[in-house]
Chain A
């Protein structure tokens, strides 16, 4: 048996996952059918705020094929309250969150009743026969109005629409000075207000749940990112012992944070399957998904940046309003807090203060969406750096260079109290500038301005970092998060020499089966093809914290390395016994165990078989090389990079065209460059989409008017350019792989790069901001009014289908 010749880590391996996906053989949850399976459908509130005065389900129960119809009142005893795992302050207000509304509805799209029928069509048909009377209540939509004295209340029992206020102050934390002093002493103080519009994660696979109650364990298949957390939470919410619940996330079609949730639909499908004793499946329609699955972003950011006249940053004050929507879902209130440590970004400054007020409104709850808190922070600071450069007449790159942490200054403890372990902003920026042709583009920009070209060129810069690899458990505890941030892995050495790897991470497009195989193949010196990665089934993977926050490789990959090292330790002990030498004399390399200085050797496969048959083991050794490990990181990881965007803005139409987009990312050591590049592409596409296209719009009654893909504008292939991507590699020092994480980087970086470019194109026309999404109408208005365009017309989609959900959305 020979060891692999070429190192696996760093190799652009084609993905193991692809064979089933390109041939249509995938097991999505909705593809599964079980004998006797029933189908569930939800009736959803068409109004945003109302008391339910009457629900009559009698006619629905008579409809063909209907097995059961339930309302919130029918399951009130069993359904508990959906969990919020992140009560960010001691005095946070947490409303009761029933899966099916009992007395009142608080957002349009909230589930009020469920039908179980023999077929999906019969279930949907019966929804129409349910008669609900709503006594409408005043609708709370605007955050500022919600906080005003005497405002109508989303949850009157809480006495306020204010959920919580969370503060970080560098003077109080001891990580810097007082912000008021910094502002008072500054030569330049810039204040801007940005709106982070509400976004819809828009994973391509609609959510689906199938619950089989017929075994001793109730098995739940769900299109989820978090099978392990879901198992725990189903038990916590319903009181069913955790030992009686098995959760399987089969192939899952995207998540982007949108499937980091414990959903009302999962709980009700679980309860109905248990009640009826038959398998029950629910699969959502797209408009159900857009109305009721959690949204992301939705902040108003008031930013004050203080600097000296030479451009040196002095202090940053951040005052946020964050829209929670109607309820607190799994990590809703914590999302803005994930941004709290990132507004200062890669820059040095004396003082920093962050204050976020979380606000309830009668809208769909918000929660994690790709980047979760960090794109919002990066947008604000990167926009402000461009504003400061304009104010001081400086080149935006030059101003950043003056203020960023130099590569020789790492590790560096920031004004927000985080210690960045490694980075090289100079190297990434230099590479990006070269690929971009920065000077030539600036020249062209000057020429177009001078000749008054109707098409103006703009250049946008974003030098971002992020904190990811979530997360050190002690930090999460200090932030009042209810769970830990470790990850688990185990390795089974099979008698044939093949290797099964069980990971607690739960991929939904990231290619863990491939990358994890590469890591284990290298570490154990076994062929890539001999490694099988198992995930997403709590029966096989008993322990895990799942996939989100760019954590899987930095945390889960490290657990895997630790488990592999434990396999090797056991193998060395057994090999010493087999080769009759001291354990200290065994050298392990490339799958071979050699007696030092001799040609006596064996290999890991032979040792695995020897352990398995157990005929001759050293005294006290168990008959197994199998090992497991749990890794809890000491620190976050800090990917960084420089993204440059050139746009052409047609001043006569407001049309924005991305002319070139260059990104140089430093995500640490790369396991599979093919996968990393794909993650960057997709991340950048979503970041661009926030800048130019996407916006979840509600009308004055609280109806989501962008409730279909006809109205909510996801970019197509024709809307995006090809990106130029490259990397620098500064390994993380906080894990043995040197990996930093790449899932969110592109999304975090891209949005400000695009908006900075657009503003740069038209700044000479008197424009200093354009609200996102920068639609042609908004850009045109900004150009022609010569002032900032404060939202208004242009955000809403025109001429689309509106919210046409057959199961109850406003028509």
Chain B
């Protein structure tokens, strides 16, 4: 069990909720303050620092994770709202021996520079490709328009998603 108290062991009257979340296929139980954000549960509580926090206002998308398969900005969801849910983060994309096609695509097409936006981009793109395995450039651009990147100008991110799409469809990447 993971205990995450943002305001811990102070004697103050802090309501605590116990939640159970499936994170990257493992069941985690945590005691959390109701105000704890999902991103903070992941980063501080579970040590999953691959999910980044970039803006606090649901604009940049660096904190995007999948909750029950849907892309969610984890800075705008309370941990208690994820009680009973399945959460996937960037750490759950690959196995020790194999990268996800999207991860490969981002490397192959130089879809990242500083890499801070990349985990969020990967998770949003994963949700896109699961819904639409062969998206057009416009569809990719719209699907990723909630994820900001300051380095790449997005062009190679689009190519990276196309690369992954081809691989996942069994075509020559």
Contacts and interface: CB of A to CB of B under 8 A. Distances in A.
B108 to A, nearest CB: 7
B145 A717 contact: yes
B137 interface: yes
A510 B114 CA distance: 7
B8 A26 contact: no
A678 B113 contact: yes
B162 to A, nearest CB: 11
A508 interface: yes
Interface string A659-695: 0000000000000001101110111111000000000
Contacts of A251: 114-115
A451 interface: no
Interface stretch (A41-49, A116-124, A316-324, A531-539): A116-124
Given A21-B115, A119-B6, A682-B151, A717 B57 contact: no
B99 interface: yes
A64 B122 CA distance: 39
B61 to A, nearest CB: 9
B136 interface: no
B100 to A, nearest CB: 9
Interface residues of A, number: 62
B50 interface: yes
Interface in B88-124: 89-91, 93-94, 99, 103, 106-108, 110, 112-119, 122
A285 interface: yes
Contacts of B118: 21-22
A30 B49 CA distance: 9
B53 A206 contact: yes
Interface stretch (B15-23, B79-87, B152-160, B165-173): B152-160
Contacts of A681: 152-156
Contact of A708 (B59, B99, B116, B156): B59
A25 interface: yes
A31 interface: yes
Nearest to B89: A24
A25 B89 CA distance: 12
Given A64-B7, A125-B7, A24 B91 contact: yes
A708 B56 contact: yes
A168 interface: no
A804 B56 CA distance: 10
Nearest to A24: B50
Nearest to A687: B153
A118 B117 CA distance: 29
A684 B108 contact: no
Contacts of A677: 110, 156
B129 interface: no
A682 B152 contact: yes
Contact of A22 (B112, B140, B146, B147): B112
Interface stretch (A252-260, A343-351, A605-613): A252-260
Nearest to B8: A119
A256 B6 contact: no
Given A204-B62, A206-B54, A253-B116, A717 B8 contact: no
A306 B79 CA distance: 65
B103 A22 contact: yes
Contact of B49 (A31, A674, A686): A31
Contact of A65 (B7, B58, B113, B155): B7
B60 interface: yes
Contacts of A710: 57-59
B106 A15 contact: no
Contact of A23 (B93, B150, B151, B158): B93
A242 interface: no
Contacts of B154: 681, 685, 716-717, 720
A18 B59 contact: no
Contact of B150 (A15, A65, A203, A720): A203
Contact of B110 (A204, A253, A674, A683): A674
A24 B51 CA distance: 7
A23 B114 contact: no
Contacts, number: 187
Interface string B42-71: 010000111111111111101000000000
A26 B53 CA distance: 14
A28 B113 CA distance: 14
Contacts of B54: 204-206, 286
A723 interface: yes
A624 interface: no
Contacts of B145: 716-719
A24 B113 contact: no
B148 A714 contact: yes
A161 interface: no
A301 interface: no
Contacts of B99: 22-23
A30 B148 CA distance: 19
B152 A508 contact: no
B153 A709 contact: no
A718 B135 CA distance: 14
Contact of B157 (A206, A714, A717): A717
Contact of A709 (B8, B60, B140): B60
A286 B56 contact: yes
A200 to B, nearest CB: 11
Contacts of A804: 57
Contacts of B7: 64-65, 119, 121-122, 125
Interface string A179-203: 0000000000000000000000011
B141 to A, nearest CB: 4
Contacts of A217: none
A252 B6 contact: no
Interface centre among A17, A21, A119 (most CB of B within 10 A): A21
Contacts of A24: 48-51, 89-91, 119
Nearest to B60: A709
A257 to B, nearest CB: 12
B1 interface: no
Interface centre among B108, B150, B156 (most CB of A within 10 A): B150
A708 B55 contact: yes
A618 interface: no
A390 interface: no
A64 B94 CA distance: 40
B130 to A, nearest CB: 18
Contacts of B56: 285-287, 708
B153 A252 contact: no
Given A22-B112, A28-B116, A254-B116, A716 B148 contact: yes
A15 B51 contact: no
B110 A23 contact: no
B144 interface: yes
Contacts of B58: 710
A682 B107 contact: no
Interface in A780-811: 801, 804
Interface of A: 14-15, 17-19, 21-26, 28, 30-31, 64-65, 118-119, 121-122, 125, 202-206, 251-254, 256, 285-287, 508-511, 674-675, 677-679, 681-686, 708-710, 714, 716-720, 722-723, 801, 804
19 contacts: A23-B93, A23-B99, A24-B91, A26-B50, A31-B43, A64-B10, A65-B7, A65-B8, A206-B54, A286-B54, A681-B154, A708-B59, A709-B55, A710-B57, A714-B150, A716-B145, A716-B147, A717-B141, A722-B155
Given A24-B90, A717-B147, A722-B137, 17 more contacts: A18-B115, A21-B112, A22-B90, A24-B119, A26-B50, A204-B60, A204-B117, A204-B148, A204-B151, A254-B116, A677-B110, A677-B156, A678-B156, A682-B151, A714-B148, A716-B144, A723-B155
The 4 closest A-B pairs by CB, nearest first: A24-B50, A21-B115, A509-B114, A253-B116
